[in-house]
Amino acid sequence: MSPIPDEVIEQVRDAADIVGLIGAHVELKRTGADYRGPCPFHGGTHRNFAVIPKKGMFYCFVCHEAGDVFTFYMKKFGMDYPTAVRDVAAKVGISIPERPAGGPDPREPLYEALSVAAEWYARRLREAPDAADARAYLEGRGFVLSELLPLGLGWAPKGDDFAAAMRQLGFTDERLLDAGLLTKREDGSLRPRFWQRLLFPIHDLRARVVGFGGRLLGDGEPKYLNSPDSAVFHKGHLLYNLHQAKQAIRQAEDAVVVEGYFDALRLVQVGIENVVAPLGTGLTPEQATLLRRFTEPVVLLYDGDAAGTRASFRAADVLLRAGLRVSVATLPPGDDPDTWARKGGADAVRKVLDDAVDVLERKLLLLERKGWFQSVAGRRRALDRLLPTLRAPRDPVMRDLYVGRVAEALGVTRSSIEGEMRLGRDPEPARPRGPAAPEPTVRRPTVGPERDLLRVMTREPEWRSRIAEQVADRAVLREPARQVFDALVAAGAAPAAEVLSGLTGEPQALLAELLAEPWGGLELDALVEGAVNRLDSRRLEAEVERIERALPFAAEAEKTELMRRVDTLARQIKKLNPARWNVMRTGRSGAR
């Protein structure tokens, strides 16, 4: 598909009646200067969804989806950007001229450079003496090189051999920079982006190489490094192996999502072909939407440890919000898809996949095993853990079934659960009775301890892993800070500016703001310690609140134990965050 000139895109945007176009899919009613209706993205029934013609945008006060008319078509119908522009153009009667047959695609030079680079790296892995350690590493992991190498894996050596070879073939430095194959040093000189890394070529749906994921062999950071975003590569919009797996996904009528490149490769090697993986980061909404073009049922097969379980639950919520149906397959602790398939082959993997259960059932099972259903306080905590998944499904029928299942498991009414689901969202905006209400803007919540940590992680990459170890429970981080935190941790030592292009919306705005702030003159140890203490205090305070909400429903024998627990937590909060403790104490005194 030919690129669309910017001036034509602006012409289409200006001509589009955003109220009429969105109103064809959402029941809108005029409210002051804008139009309101139920949100088509999170499946709400209240009129939380606003179309604002003066600004040419839409915004949901609950799920915070926002954008222009093209964004609406992309999110609603799973289109890519050019298709959305063309669809809107057709509706407003604007003809977009096609490029003459045989005309050049301006991205073609990048595709060519990346294709040649992939061949060079693959040949290096097959033949070069300096790739002997990489070949030994693959064999040590149980891969058969004669079967693996045809998949296009490559080796990026240390030094400038790659750059010299590409220049000799006629590629300019400018083109290699645009393709993400070279990077600039601080002194302005150029060097290959990938050094001493095993390379996994990443393809688009047309099987064109658009970038690489590089795995460092030996010491150093980051362990994994991706190509930077470019005109052809957008990390959060691509899935590893989808170009090969899409037909198998359609035939199997489901997709298997794993965490890493090696997991995907191993499953393909043993004959599980409908497998994809995100590119070294958490699953994104754009990746979920991409996957939905080929299937709705998805099975998550993540590592068998606690971190893998948490990551699978986060991915499940993203997939549910995109309208997919999600099951979770469980591996024994200490195993991952790579090791499991290596030990048991395709039969062992298929057995685990066949035993996969719906993500909500998996959460309920884990909470029951932990004994959380045995007390009032435990059931209260269990509901808090389940709420993100209860809110996630786009499908209203699935959401209703989830509510009924949790009500049954916890022994509470549906109405109380539905009330809790509403508590975690912005309230229904009041309908204006006089002058029009001010036009809503996408809010960017301020952050306290999160901001301090992110300031350090943005400017001091070597601190990222240390901070990640100290913030073991990511759930305590508030959005959008949590997304920025996860992105910086996943980036390893890469500059924060490279992380920026992989984010969108509020997280991107927050990171841009942090990058623009002045930096220096801070005692980092004290800053980080104080921020971590405040986060720990917040987590403990949330536990106190959960217990106090459960107290009125507890038996007398339980109340004594619960109050003892509150006192213990209060002492810990006082030690971690005396200022917050004083606020809590004042509030308690006023309530008595």
pLDDT at 385: 92
Q: Say if 6-92 and 108-233 have the same CATH topology.
A: no
Maximal CA-CA distance, the chain: 82
pLDDT at 592: 43
What is the rounded CA–CA span in Å between residue 147 and residue 271? 12
What residue ranges do the domains of the chain occupy? 6-92, 108-233, 242-355, 366-423, 449-522, 532-591
Indicate the burial class of 490 (C-beta count within 10 angstroms; 0-12, 13-18, 19 or more).
buried
What is the rounded CA–CA span in Å between residue 256 and residue 272? 9
First to last CA, the chain: 68
108-233: CATH number: 3.90.980.10
User: Amino acid letter at 527?
Assistant: L
**242-355 CATH pick, 1.10.1470.10, 3.40.47.10, 3.40.1190.20, 3.40.1360.10:** 3.40.1360.10
pLDDT at 205: 83
- Number of other residues whose CB lies within 10 A of the CB of residue 442: 13
Specify the residue for token string 């099951």: 327
pLDDT at 442: 40
Specify the residue for token string 């038996």: 555
Could you please state the CATH topology (level 3) that the domain comprising 6-92 is classified under.
DNA Primase; Chain A (3.90.580)
56-64: which pairs have CB atoms within 8 A and are 24 or more residues apart? Answer: 56/13, 56/16, 56/18, 57/18, 58/18, 58/22, 59/440, 59/441, 59/442, 61/426, 61/429, 61/440, 62/425, 62/426, 63/39, 63/321, 63/425, 64/442, 64/443, 64/505, 64/506
Residue 541 to residues 340, 371, 418, 554, 568, Cα–Cα distance (Å): 40, 22, 24, 20, 11
What is the rounded CA–CA span in Å between residue 348 and residue 197? 31
Q: Which residues contact 313 (CB under 8 A, 6 or more apart)?
A: 328, 359, 363, 388, 389
- Number of other residues whose CB lies within 10 A of the CB of residue 183: 15
What is the rounded CA–CA span in Å between residue 110 and residue 90? 30
Specify the residue for token string 């893998």: 308
Mean pLDDT for back-to-back runs of 10 residues, the chain (592 residues): 68 82 90 86 84 81 82 85 88 72 72 96 96 95 87 94 96 96 92 96 91 90 91 91 91 94 96 94 89 91 94 95 94 95 96 96 95 91 94 90 95 91 53 37 56 88 87 78 88 79 78 74 80 84 76 69 81 74 51 44
pLDDT at 437: 37
The residue count of the chain comes to: 592
Give CA angle at 402 (401, 405), nearest 5°.
85
User: 3-state secondary structure string, 342-387?
Assistant: HHHHHHHHHHHHHCCEEHHHHHHHHHHHCCHHHCHHHHHHHHHHHH
- Determine if the pTM surpasses 0.75: no
What is the rounded CA–CA span in Å between residue 177 and residue 44? 45
